[in-house]
Chain A
Amino acid sequence: MTRLELEGIEFAYADGPSVLAGASLAVGAGELVALAGANGSGKSTLLAIAAGLARPAAGRAAVDGRDVAHLAPRLRARTVALVPQGLRRWPEAGVRTFVAGGRYAHQRGLAGMTAEDEAAIDSALEQALVADLAEARLDRISGGQRQRVLVARALAQEAALLLVDEPTAALDPRHQLRVLEVLAGAAAAGAAVLFATHELHLAVQFAERLALIDGGAIVIDAATDTCLESGALEGVLGLTVGRWETTRGELAMPLPQREARPR
């Protein structure tokens, strides 16, 4: 079932160059799709449009068949959850309190948490592997833990579509794997997950499909294996695909490779 449908999205910032020029992409329930492209190629903008936080100049962004820009704010947040790349300022709140913010769209007025809210928060903390940090202070935990807390807050929204902006940027390898495991878990649980990333060597191990954005449009949208074999990664992102025999089996790896190695 198609959750997210982006059709011919065009977008330009005020008095800036055009960022998106006819980008189209669809993500279905239970799918984990990686969105890759150069810096400034419009990945974050496309996610913001899909989340209904920016309006495209042309084209249609629909979630579950409804135009996302026209949804009421609370309904929109119950339908789409966006995980930002990070926060400019981390509140001095406890992790659980922060994750509870994801329940705003399910609450009314000044009423307190319902049992349903508490259960959703517990399950989100559990799913994002941060249950043991629930009482910790957000401004005192590590970057990798914070990234998972952001995912937990989005999971608490219980939205069917999860948009994630560069979840592995600035994380160490083990935390990168963990965050992606969490996203894969969310997709396995039925959510449609679209994540922007530069770490293609990780993305190909988790995502079923890759969407490559270039020149304001999605130029390649294909199964991960097809992408690895087609040479598309080399053309769009300048990555060389190699094959490694590892202790855990064969691994196809797109990596940046220096043209000539000096002696």
Chain B
Amino acid sequence: MASAGEDEQHGEQRARIVKHGPGELSGYDRPLPVNVTAPSSPRRTRAFVLVLVLVFSAVTLASLNVGPAGSLGALELGRGLLGVLGFDGDVDERLRGIVALRAKRTLVGIGVGAALAYSGALLQGVFRNDLASPAVLGVTSGASLGAAIAILGAGGYGPVAAFVGGTGSSLIVSLSAFAGAASVLALVTAVGTRAGSVSVPTLLLAGVAVNAVVGGMLAALQAFALRDFEIARALFAWAFGQIEDRGAHEITALYVALFASAACLPFVARELDLFVAGEHDARSLGVDAARVKWLALGAAGLSAGVAVSVVGQIAFVGLVVPHLLRLAVGRSHRILLPLSLLGGATFLVGCDLVQRLFLEELHLHTGVWMSLIGGPLFLVLLVRDRRSLEYA
């Protein structure tokens, strides 16, 4: 005979069965509370692009207008630009000189900012990680090392280039910087990739190792070159890049590299979107993963390498700009890659402008300034996104 306690237990079980009986739906068929996607609506993206274009135009004009020689005003600036472009022969020599100097600085800022941010966006897409960037992976220090070797080998650069035969030696420096960037990229990719899948911790640690080794080698080269003040100065400029005093042939090299790597965009943008769940998955959808990877890495190495060869190391543009853009327009590379060109240009020219307006007397290199504001900004982003990065 069952005790009262057992009866009670049975009763409870029966009650439970009735509650979840076949007639009643459990959670399965009820729709889950789902969050509607709104990382980027087309309207929001369009508005953002418009704002970015306006800000870009504003900082570019301001950058042309601001300098130690004072503000020029629209009319003077317009005349000066016409003079620089050779449309107006009557322009005052001094005005033409000032505008030419500022135009070069602005062009370098646009090109370098665009190249670094684009390179960062590509690397982050290939390695599927928001922490990848030309600086973190050691690509920019590889470029610096290449450039430093060429500076020593070719006998001088920057201030010295004038009497060593400008174009030739600066082309050697650019090529050597690209070779340095490409070899580091190949090295960290080889170390960080196994059987087609990327190990992000390995990749980042490989970058740390490369940065340390290259840092030591650069210091050794500098010590070696101390006897020659001019060369030591040129080498020092690479450690923290500056965007002023660059020659026309360097600007040409920068833009040729930038256009060449930007030309890869149509062949990698849609594909990098599909890389998100891994190369294997992308391949199953019909992506030629190997081709896309090497094309994207080549373009990233070329743009960052040549940017560094022209101005030296500038940190954080490649890391921060794609990061900020993703917050605004989402993760589609068809939007992100072109916008990183525009966003990087705006960011670097804007930062340079702020420095010239408010911190002129400190005489800081742009690279120093970028590290000082880029570092903390990145830390803020990191803390903000900590949770999502844990899954990376």
A104 sits at the interface (CB 8 A) = yes
**A68-127 with Cβ < 8 A to chain B:** 73-78, 81-82, 84, 87-94, 97, 101-102, 104-105, 107, 109-110
Q: Check A91–B288 contact: CB distance below 8 A.
A: no
Assess whether B391 is interfacial by the CB under 8 Å rule.
yes
**Alpha-carbon gap, A77 to B280, bound state (A):** 12
CA distance A170 to B232 in the complex (A): 63
Q: Which residues of A contact B285 (CB under 8 A)?
A: 77, 101-102, 104-105, 153, 157
Residue A174, interface by CB 8 Å: yes
- Chain B nearest CB from A139 CB (Å) reads 9
With A87-B277, A87-B278, A89-B277 known as contacts, the answer to whether A51 contacts B284 (CB < 8 A) is yes
CB pair A141 B34 closer than 8 Å = yes
Q: Does B39 contact A (CB under 8 A)?
A: yes
CB distance from B334 to the nearest CB of A (A): 6
Contacting residue for B286 out of A105, A137, A175, CB 8 A: A105
Residue of A nearest to B28 (CB): A174
**Contacts known (A76-B286, A105-B286, A110-B270); A133 close to B277, Cβ less than 8 A:** no
Q: Which residue of chain A is the closest to B36 with respect to CB atoms?
A: A135
How many Å lie between the Cα of A140 and that of B33 in the bound state? 9
A-side contacts of B281, CB under 8 Å: 84, 87
Question: How distant is B333 from chain A, measured CB to nearest CB, in Å?
Answer: 10
How far does the alpha carbon of A88 sit from the alpha carbon of B282 in the complex, in Å?
Answer: 13
Contact among B34, B39, B273 with A133 in the assembled complex (CB-CB below 8 Å): B34
Structural contact, A73 and B392, CB atoms closer than 8 A: no
Q: Is B331 an interface residue (CB 8 A)?
A: yes
CB-CB under 8 A from B284, the residues of chain A are: 51, 53, 77, 81-82, 84
Counting contact residues on chain A (CB < 8 A from B), the size range is: 35 or more
In the assembled complex, B35 has its CB within 8 A of some CB on chain A: yes
B188 CB-CB contact with A under 8 Å: no
B274 touches A142 (CB 8 A): no
B280-307 vs A, Cβ < 8 Å mask (1 yes, 0 no): 1101111110000000000000000000
Report whether A136 and B28 are in contact in the complex, using a CB–CB cutoff of 8 Å.
Answer: no
The answer to whether A245 has its CB under 8 Å from any CB of chain B is: no
Distance between B323 CB and nearest chain A CB, rounded to angstroms = 14
The listed residue (A77, A132, A140, A175) touching B35 by CB distance below 8 A is: A140
Nearest chain A residue, comparing its CB with the CB of B271: A104
A145 interface residue per 8 A CB criterion: yes
Residues B177-191 near A (CB distance < 8 A): none
Residues on the A chain within 8 Å of B277, using CB: 87-91
Flag whether B105 is at the interface (Cβ < 8 A).
no
Residues of B within 8 A of A91 (CB): 276-277, 331
**A145, closest chain B residue (CB):** B32
Please, which residues of chain B bring their CB within 8 A of the CB of A145? 32
Shortest CB–CB separation between residue A152 and chain B, in angstroms?
Answer: 13
Q: How far is the CB of B145 from chain A (nearest CB, A)?
A: 33
Specify which of A74, A81, A91, A157 lies most central, judged by the most chain B CB atoms within 10 Å of its CB.
Answer: A91
Chain B residues near A142: list those with CB within 8 A: 32
Contacts of B233-289 to chain A: CB distance below 8 A: 266, 269-271, 273-274, 276-278, 280-281, 283-288
Secondary structure at the A interface, as helix, strand, loop or mixed, is mixed
Known contacts A109-B266, A110-B334; A73 and B37 CB within 8 A of each other: no
Residue of B nearest to A51 (CB): B284
Contacting pair A73 B283 (CB below 8 A): yes
- Do the beta carbons of A110 and B34 come within 8 Å of each other? no
Decide: A73 and B286 in contact? CB cutoff 8 A.
Answer: yes
- Whether B201 sits at the interface, judged by CB under 8 Å, is no
Please name all residues of chain A whose beta carbon is closer than 8 Å to the beta carbon of B36 when the two chains form the complex. Answer: 135-137
Chain A residues lying within 8 Å of B274, measured Cβ to Cβ, are: 101, 104
Q: Give the chain B neighbours of A94 by CB distance below 8 A.
A: 37
Asked if B128 CB lies within 8 Å of chain A CBs, one says yes
Q: In the complex, A137→B32 CA distance in Å?
A: 12
Q: Does B31 contact A (CB under 8 A)?
A: yes
A251 to B193, CA, bound (A): 49
Interface contact B286-A92, CB-CB below 8 Å? no
Give A46 Cβ to nearest chain B Cβ, in Å. 15
Instruction: Kindly name the residue among B128, B276, B283, B284 whose own CB sees the greatest number of chain A CB atoms within 10 A.
Output: B284
- Please state if A110 and B266 are interface contacts (CB–CB under 8 Å): yes
Instruction: Decide: A93 and B278 in contact? CB cutoff 8 A.
Output: no
> Once bound together, how far apart are the Cα atoms of A132 and B36, in whole Å?
11
B273 touches A141 (CB 8 A): no
Chain B contacts of A175 at CB under 8 A? Answer: 28
Residues of chain A within 8 A (CB-CB) of B35 are 136-137, 140
One of A53, A74, A84, A93 near B276 (C-beta < 8 A): A93
Closest to B34 in A: A136
Query: In the complex, A136 Cα to B269 Cα: how many Å?
Result: 24
User: Can you list 17 residue pairs at the A/B interface with Cβ under 8 Å?
Assistant: A51-B284, A53-B283, A73-B286, A73-B287, A84-B281, A87-B281, A89-B128, A91-B277, A91-B331, A92-B39, A93-B37, A101-B274, A101-B285, A104-B274, A110-B269, A110-B270, A153-B285
Binding site for A on B (CB under 8 A): 28, 31-32, 34-37, 39, 128, 266, 269-271, 273-274, 276-278, 280-281, 283-288, 331, 334, 388, 391-392
3 smallest CB-CB distances across A and B, nearest first, come from A77-B286, A105-B286, A94-B37
- 19 further interface pairs, Cβ-Cβ under 8 Å (given A92-B39, A140-B35): A51-B284, A53-B280, A73-B288, A74-B286, A76-B286, A77-B285, A84-B280, A87-B277, A89-B276, A89-B392, A94-B37, A97-B37, A109-B266, A110-B269, A132-B31, A136-B34, A136-B37, A157-B286, A174-B28
